[in-house]
Amino acid sequence: MTGKEACLRLLKDVVQESPADQTEALLLTEDSSLTRFAKSSVHQHVAEKNRTLILRVVIDKRIAVLTTNFLDRSSIRDLVKKAISIARIQHPNEDFVSLPKQPQPVPEINTFHKNINSLTPYRKVKVINDLFKMVKEKRLQASGSFSNGAVEVAVVSSFGVEAYQRYSDFVFHLIVEKDGGSGYASYVSRDPAQLDIDSLAKEAIEKALRGEPVQIEPGEYEVILEPYAVSELLSFLGYLGFHALAVQEGRSFFCNEFGKKLVDSRVTIYDDGLDPEGLQIPFDFEGIPKQRVTFFEEGVAKGVTYDSFTGNREGKNSTGHGLIAPNTEGPIPINLFMQGGESSLEEMVRSVRKGIYVTRFHYTNVVEPMKAVLTGMTRDGTFLIEEGEIKMPIKNLRFTESVLRALSRVSAVSRDRRICSEGTVYSRRFITGVVAPAIKVDGFNFSGVSAL
Amino acid sequence: MKTLIQNILDIARLKRVDYADIRIVHRRTEEIGVKNGNVEAFTHDEDSGFGIRVLFQGAWGFASSSKMTKTEMETVFAKALKIARASLKVRGNGVVYPSASERVDQYRTPISIDPFKIPSEKKLNLLLMSDEMMRRNRNVKISEAFMGSYKTEKTFASTEGSYIEQEIVECGAGISATAIDGGEIQVRSYPNSFRGNFATKGYEWIEALALKDHAERIAEEAVQLLYAKPCPSKVTTLILDNSQLALQIHESIGHPIELDRVLGTEASYAGTSFVRPEMVGSFKYGAEIVNVVADATYPGGLGTFGYDDEGIQAQRVPIISQGILVNLLTSRETAHVLGKESNGTMRADGWNRIPLIRMTNINLEPGEWTLENMISDTEEGVFLSTNRSWSIDDKRINFQFGTEIGWEIKKGRLGEMIKNPTYTGITPRFWNSCDAIANKDHYQMWGTPNCGKGEPGQVAHVGHGASPARFRNVQVGVMKGSD
C-alpha cells in the first residue's frame, strides 16, 4: 500500500504543477492476486501490483483526461504539459459547468481489513484444496476463482477536494459439476474472516447433485429468481436507466415517468454506498460523499443518480456517483440494493404450481433499452418446480423479457438478501456488489433452450 | 533493458525452474469521443510494466509489477516462484510444456501513416464534422463519433533463449446516430456499431473509412427506423451482411474452438464449449461450403501479429474445411491433446495478465455468389445488417442476436425496412443451414476490439473476415418480452 499521506502528497504535487483553470488528480493503487481452478486443479495463480494516475484538466470548458502509471517527477511534469496542450486544442464543452467546487466532509468508515494480507498463496491453496476434498467426496468437480486485493483510491482537486480511502476485498466464485448438471455459489466481502468455504461448497454441491438436466419447452412460466439472477437484472436497470445522463439524453425508461407506478409495489430499489450490508464506498471518483438515492419506492419511479457534470446541467448537486473520468456512460449506480420482503425462499417455492427456479443468468444483453428488454441464458442450477417442489434440473433456457414487465409481476420477495458480485472488471480492480433478495415473478418469458 | 531481462532469466535457470518467460509491455492509447458537438472524451493513456511466468515442477506462477527496476524484477520473480511452489499441491496432473525452438526476431505492424503523428486537431475536426453532419437531421437526438489509436511495444524473452520484440499499431473509428421518439430508440452506425471498425493499420485506415460520406445516410436511416415496421416473427431465410456475420463467427465459431474452453479452464467465467477434442476431424460443424481459417498473418486484421505471447510465430490454420471441424485454437500447453503443436494463439492483455488462448483473425472464406444474385435467388426472407445485441450460452450452443436494421426480401428483391430485428439459433444447426456465401468482392475484415475473457478480465483485439451469407430456416423476430 502507498499510504494516505504519500498518495495525497503525490496528487497535491500533480495539481500544483498544473496551470489549468481546474485540475483533478485521481490515484488508484492495486495489490491483488487471483487463483483460478478448473476440474479440481489450479491452472492459474497470478499476482499484480500497479498504481495509476488519472489527470483531468479544464481550461475554459476544454477538458482533457490523461492516464499513466509512470509516476516519477519528470513523467508527471510531462503528463501535465501534455494534458494542457490537449485541452487547449479542444472545442469548449458547453454542457460542462465545473468540477465539484465545494469540498465536502467524507464519512469515516472502515473499508479495509488487515487480515486481507493473510491470504498468501499458501493459505489460498489450502482453502482451495479443502474445497477439492469436499467436492471429491461427492464425486464432483470444481471450477472457480479466488481473488483478493488491497486497493487505494485518492482524489485531490484544485478546488480543495481531498479524499483518500483504502479497501480490501475478496471474491470467491464456485461452480460444481457432475453429469451435465451444475451448481453455483459465490461470496464477496471486504473481510476474509467472513469466508465460510463449507457453506459455499454445500450450496453449490446441493444443486449439482440433483442429476442430469432434462429438456423442457420454452414459454412463459412462473419463476423464482435467486439473488444472483436478480442482481444481474438490477445491474442492467442501473446501466440503462437509473442515472441522470440516460434521462437527460432521453434514453432512460424513467423519461417522463417520475412519480408514476411502473412496477409492483413490493419493489423498492435504491443505491447506498454507506450501507454496511453492501460493499461500502464513502465517496465517488470525484471525491464527493455518497448519498442514498431511491429509484423505485414501492413501485413508483422516484429519482436517479448524478455526478458533477449531470448535476450541474440541472442545477442539482452530485449524489456522489461520479465514475472514473472520462465517463461517457453516465453516473451508473454501483451500490444497488433491492429491499427484502416478507417471504422465505422455501415459502416462495411452495407457492409455485408449475415454474422455473433460476440460480443465475449468463451473457445477458440489451435487446430494447427503453423497455429494458434483455436476453440471456440461465446457468448453473436451473430447475423445474411442480406443485411447490423443486423436481428436477432442466437444460439452460434463454429468456427474452422486459425487466420492467417482470418487476410489475413480482408476487413475492424474500426476507433474506445476499450480496452478489461479478468480481473484477477489465483492467482496474474495484469490486462492487449488488444486495438482492430472491423474487417470485408470475410470468417470465423463456424464448429458447440450449440443446444440440 | 536486455540486461535486466537477462538477469531474471539467469536467476530462473539457477532456481532450476522448468521454464520461465518475461514480457515487458508498453502501451499508448489515444481515444477521442465526440457527442452532440461536444468533445466528450479526449484521453491519452500510457501504461507499462512487466510480467514473469514461471513453471516449477509442473505448476504455474505469475506475478507482475509496473515498477521496472532490477530489485523489483527480482522480487516479482521470487513472488511468481513462490506462487508456483504453493500451487504444487493442487496442480492436478501437472503441466506438460513442450519446448519450442529459440526465436530471436522483431516484428512491426506495417503502416503508412503513424496515427500518433497526426495532429490531434485534425482528428478532432474530422469527428466534429461527421458529428455535425448527422445532427443536421433534426430528428437525430444523439450523434456520436469516435476514434482510437493504439500502440503496443512488447519484448518477450524466455529461458529457452527466445528474444522477440514487437510493435503493434492499431486504429479505428466510427460514427453513430440515435433517433428517439415516443419511448423508442433507434441507432444506426457506420462502419460498424460499438465505436466502428478497427485494424492493425496506420492512419491511412481512418482516411479510407470516409466517415463524413456516410453521416447523412445513417442519420436518415436512424430516423426511418422509428417509423419502420417491426421485424416479423417467423422461421424464414436469413441473409447477414458481413459485419453482423463477423460477430456471428466470433461468438459461434471463434469462442467454441478455443481449446482452453474445450478443456474446461474457462468454466468459472466465460464458460466452456459444446466442442469436444474427439470431434476434430469428423464433426460436421457447417455446410460443405463453410470454410473457416484462423489467420494471424492476414494483412491489417485486428488479430494480426508476428508472434504470440509464448514466442510462437503467427500462423494461418484451417479450422473448418468443407464443413468439417479440422482444428482448434491451441497453446503450447494444450496442443498435445490434439496430437499437434501450438498454432500460436496465446495472447495477454498487457503486462499484468497471463496469456490465454485468444482468437486471431477467424475468417469465413468467400464463396461464389454476388450479394445481388443471393438476394434475387431468395423468394422470401430478411436481410439484416450491423450488430445491436448479442448473447450466447456458456457452451456456445444457443445464440440470439439483434441488428440495427433489416429489410424484408420478397420475390428476390429487397423490400421494406424492418426495425428491431432479432434472430436466434443453435450453432451447428445454423452453420449447416448455410447455402450461399458471397464472393471475394464482398469480403471485408472486421475488427472486434472488445473480446472479453479470463479472470482477472482481459480484453483482446481480434479480427473476422467475411462476405455476406445466406442461412435457411432461421427463427427471426424473438421479441415476445417487449409486448
- Per-residue confidence (pLDDT) for residue A426, from 0 to 100: 57
What is the grid cell recorded at B172? 479505428
The answer to whether the beta carbons of residues B352 and B49 sit under 8 Å apart is yes
Burial degree of A19 (CB within 10 A; 0-12, 13-18, 19+): exposed
Query: Rounded CA gap, A260 and A257, in Å?
Result: 6
- What is chain A's pLDDT, residue by residue, as a tens digit (452 residues)? 899 999 999 999 999 999 999 999 999 999 999 999 999 999 999 999 999 999 999 999 999 999 999 999 999 999 999 999 999 988 899 899 999 998 899 999 999 999 999 999 999 999 999 999 999 999 999 999 999 999 999 999 999 999 999 999 999 999 999 888 899 999 999 999 999 999 999 999 999 999 899 999 999 999 999 999 999 999 999 999 999 999 999 999 999 999 999 999 999 999 999 999 999 999 999 999 999 999 999 999 999 999 999 999 999 999 999 999 999 899 999 999 999 999 999 999 999 999 999 999 999 999 999 999 999 999 999 999 999 999 999 999 999 999 999 999 999 999 999 999 987 655 678 999 999 999 999 999 999 998 87
Q: Give yes or no for A72 touching B (CB within 8 A).
A: no
Query: Best mutation site among A50, A51, A67, A407 for testing chain B: the one with the most B CBs within 10 Å?
Result: A50
**A125/B45 touch (CB, cutoff 8 Å), yes or no:** no
Nearest by CB to residue A452, choosing from B268, B397, B400, is: B397
Chain A residues lying within 8 Å of B456, measured CB to CB: 32, 34, 46, 48, 147, 424, 429
Residue A285, classed as helix, strand or coil, is coil
Chain B residues lying within 8 Å of A377, measured CB to CB: 391-394, 398
Torsion sign (Cα): A382, A387, A388, A390? negative
**B61/A448 touch (CB, cutoff 8 Å), yes or no:** no
Q: Give yes or no for A144 touching B (CB within 8 A).
A: yes
- Per-residue confidence (pLDDT) for residue A425, from 0 to 100: 59
Confidence of residue B1 (pLDDT cuts 50, 70, 90): confident
The answer to whether the beta carbons of residues A288 and A153 sit under 8 Å apart is no
**B128/A93 touch (CB, cutoff 8 Å), yes or no:** no
Average pLDDT over chain B, rounded to whole? Answer: 96
Of the candidates B302, B277, B296, which has an alpha carbon nearest to the alpha carbon of residue B344? B296
**B38/A94 touch (CB, cutoff 8 Å), yes or no:** yes
The answer to whether the beta carbons of residues A392 and A357 sit under 8 Å apart is no
| ipTM field | 0.93
**B354/A46 touch (CB, cutoff 8 Å), yes or no:** yes
Nearest by CB to residue A121, choosing from B38, B47, B83, is: B83
**A44/B44 touch (CB, cutoff 8 Å), yes or no:** no
Query: Rounded CA gap, A6 and A20, in Å?
Result: 23
Residue B66, classed as helix, strand or coil, is coil
What is the grid cell recorded at B452? 472479453
pLDDT digits (tens, 9 = 90+) for B105-129: 999 999 999 999 999 999 999 999 9
Query: Rounded CA gap, A219 and A443, in Å?
Result: 9
**Chain B: closest CA distance from residue A230 (Å):** 17
**Chain B: closest CA distance from residue A96 (Å):** 9
Chain A residues lying within 8 Å of B354, measured CB to CB: 44, 46
Question: How is the beta sheet containing B292-295 ordered, strand by strand?
Answer: B324-325, B316-321, B292-295, B362-364
What is the mean pLDDT of the segment spanning B87-93?
89
- Per-residue confidence (pLDDT) for residue B183, from 0 to 100: 85
Chain B residues lying within 8 Å of A121, measured CB to CB: 61, 82-83, 85-87
- Per-residue confidence (pLDDT) for residue A159, from 0 to 100: 97
Backbone angles phi, psi at A289, to 5 degrees: -60, 145
Query: Rounded CA gap, B299 and B360, in Å?
Result: 12
Strand partners, B142: B178
**Chain B: closest CA distance from residue A410 (Å):** 15
What domains sit in chain A, N to C, each tagged with a CATH number? 4-208 (3.30.2290.10), 219-449 (no CATH)
**Chain B: closest CA distance from residue A107 (Å):** 30
Query: Rounded CA gap, B457 and B459, in Å?
Result: 7
**A46/B65 touch (CB, cutoff 8 Å), yes or no:** no
Chain A residues lying within 8 Å of B46, measured CB to CB: 66-70
- List the single range of A144-153, B87-96, B309-318, B323-332 with lowest mean pLDDT: B87-96
**What is the secondary structure of A368-429 as a DSSP string?**
ETTTTEEEEEEEEEEEEEETTEEEEEB--EEEEEEHHHHHTTEEEEEEEEEEE-----SSS-
**B44/A66 touch (CB, cutoff 8 Å), yes or no:** yes
**Chain A: closest CA distance from residue B313 (Å):** 24
Q: Where are the domains of chain B?
A: 2-227, 230-482
- Per-residue confidence (pLDDT) for residue A90, from 0 to 100: 87
**A328/B397 touch (CB, cutoff 8 Å), yes or no:** no
Query: Best mutation site among B53, B231, B333, B400 for testing chain A: the one with the most A CBs within 10 Å?
Result: B400
Is the pLDDT reported for residue B481 higher than 90? no
Cα–Cα separations (whole angstroms), residue A44 to A82, A240, A391, B345: 39, 35, 37, 18
Residues 6+ positions from B210 with CB-CB distance below 8 Å: none
Buried b (16+ CB within 10 A) or exposed e, A73-90: eeebeebbebbbebbebb
- Per-residue confidence (pLDDT) for residue B63, from 0 to 100: 97
- Sheet strands (E) in B81-224: 104-108, 140-158, 163-181, 184-190, 197-199
Chain B residues lying within 8 Å of A32, measured CB to CB: 456
Residues 6+ positions from A180 with CB-CB distance below 8 Å: A212, A213
The answer to whether the beta carbons of residues A236 and A373 sit under 8 Å apart is no
Of the candidates A207, A163, A150, which has an alpha carbon nearest to the alpha carbon of residue A32? A150
Is the pLDDT reported for residue B479 higher than 80? no
Q: Give yes or no for A38 touching B (CB within 8 A).
A: yes
Nearest by CB to residue B478, choosing from A50, A65, A400, is: A400
Long-range CB pairs of B328-332, under 8 A, 24+ apart, other chains included:
B328/B257, B328/B258, B328/B259, B328/B262, B328/B275, B328/B277, B328/B280, B329/B257, B329/B258, B329/B259, B329/B294, B329/B357, B329/B358, B329/B359, B329/B360, B330/B259, B330/B357, B331/B259, B331/B260, B331/B355, B331/B357, B332/B97, B332/B98, B332/B100
Could you tell me where the DSSP H helices lie in A289-368?
A: 308-313, 345-350
Q: Would you identify the CATH topology of the domain B2-227?
A: PmbA/TldD fold (3.30.2290)
CA-based angle B458:B148:A327, to the nearest 5? Answer: 70
Q: Is B411 left (phi over 0), alpha (psi -120 to 50) or beta?
A: left
What is the grid cell recorded at A169? 476485498
How many A/B residue pairs have CB atoms within 8 Å?
A: 285
